[in-house]
Amino acid sequence: MIFTTYWFFAFAAILFPLYWLLPWGRARLGLLLVGCAIFHGHFAGAAGVIPIVVLAVATYLAGRSGRSSWCIATIILCVASLGIYKYSPFFVGSAVGLFDPQLAAKCALWIRQALPASPPLAISFFTFEFVHYLYDVRKGRMRITSPVDFALFTIFFPSLVAGPIKRCGDFLPALHRGVAAVATADVAIGLSRVAIGFAKKVLISDNLATVINYYAPHFTQQSLGTRWLLFAAIAFRILLDFSGYSDIAIGLARMFGITLPENFRWPYLASSLQEFWQRWHISLSTWIRDYIYIPLGGSRHGVARKIVNGFIVFALCGLWHGAAWNFIVWGIFHGAGLAVCGNYRLLLGRTGAQIGAFLDRFPPLSWALTTGYVWLGWLLFFYPLPQAYKMAASLFSR
């Protein structure tokens, strides 16, 4: 994890005091840009920086032009880059594998050897932010003219690696407010938030990860009680790790005087899947809603289309998390859950209404069903399908 490195602590120990001591907003802006560039260069390396610079320049120029065709072309370029860097071995391997598994393995290996050892750092987040920006430019909602502003929007280091996914309409005003004047309250709140994030990550989540990695291969051989404890541990590990990381990102930004949007709002308190996705990785779910679901038609074309759109959106959401079938299945799992959750009252008529009324009268039951469904989904997220199935089945057998 990038924030738990000595380099990062040394970097922050130098950057933050310099930032706070500079009396002029423009100087702070410049220092922040330099700091972000150093951060990105250090962790991404040349192989990671160059593609992002190319995409950023293309996006900036397309945005400056305001021309729809340029925006569309650059959106395609960004999505294609993500596809090539992150997904090409998977896509090619899966497609060819339908006919010739050995050839598929060879193709996937050849592609991996042709590409850098790992995709450019944070390419998933860059792509989403560039696509959002270009889409909004096309809709005439905004245009960034300052290259410094755009560069900072691109490589703002607190949210670079794991979000929250920024919207430039919110980020740029927050950036300018922050560099204009950093209050002591911002620093104090930011420090506290960073500490909370690290506590979630290093005190709890890392330990849970070690426990899970040790016991998961022998999951079905544990006692029933232990299996349920591990099941809960898996769910809390991802929540604390991811939300902890978001806390650190939000806290660091706040120490610059910059407010980032919240990314998690107690997601395991949700009593429906819709509510879960309003509380979990909020910046991702809103992005998917605004830039995939709504352009696909959303819920404007009837229930059937709404359900199909939901499946597409969540399959893509799953794929975004990783290039493997279990991520897609996890996405479809949530798409299916949302399809049922959002439409059973309508589709099941009187029975549906009765079920809905019953669940409304017993919120803990809704909560338990939602939590159980989400936690089962994590088995699909982390483990290959056969293993996930065995683990899930073993929760209900001696």
* Positions that interact with other proteins (CB under 8 A): 1-2, 4-7, 9-10, 85-86, 118-125, 161-163, 183-185, 187-189, 191-192, 195, 198-199, 202-203, 205-207, 209-211, 213-214, 237-238, 241-242, 245
Nearer to other proteins, 214 or 266 (CB): 214
**Smallest separation, CB 88 to other proteins (Å):** 14
In the bound state with other proteins, the residue whose beta carbon lies nearer, of 165 and 339, is: 165
**Secondary structure of 65-105 as H, E, C letters:** HCCHHHHHHHHHHHHHHHHHHHHHHHHHHHHHHCCCHHHHH
Q: How far is the CB of 41 from other proteins (least distance, A)?
A: 13
Minimal distance, residue 297 CB to other proteins, in Å: 29
Question: Is position 321 annotated as part of the catalytic site?
Answer: yes
Identify the CA nearest to 392 among candidates 326, 310, 324, 325.
326
Interatomic CA distance for residues 82 and 119, integer angstroms: 8
Measured from the CB atom, is 110 or 214 closer to other proteins?
214
Q: How far is the CB of 216 from other proteins (least distance, A)?
A: 12
With beta carbons less than 8 A apart as the criterion, state whether 372 and 235 touch. no
Q: Which two tokens stand for residue 177?
A: 């407010």
Q: Find, among 326, 319, 337, 226, the residue nearest to 277 by Cα.
A: 337
The smaller minimum CB distance to other proteins, of residues 198 and 268, is found at 198
Nearer to other proteins, 35 or 244 (CB): 244
For 121-146, b/e burial (b = at least 16 CB within 10 A) is: bbbbbbbbbbbbbbbbbbeeeeebee
CB 153, min distance to other proteins, A: 19
Sign of CA dihedral 62, 66, 70, 72: positive
- The distance of closest approach from Cβ of residue 250 to other proteins in the complex, given in angstroms and rounded to an integer, is 16
**Residues 6+ away with beta carbon under 8 Å from 112:** 89
Calpha distance 330→230 (Å, rounded): 19
How far is 265 from 244, CA to CA, in rounded Å? 12
Q: Which is nearer to other proteins, 242 or 287 (CB)?
A: 242
The residue from 132, 176, 321, 334 that is catalytic is: 321
Q: Which of 236, 235, 172 is nearest to 203 (CA)?
A: 236
Place of tokens 């910046």: 283
Active site residues: 321
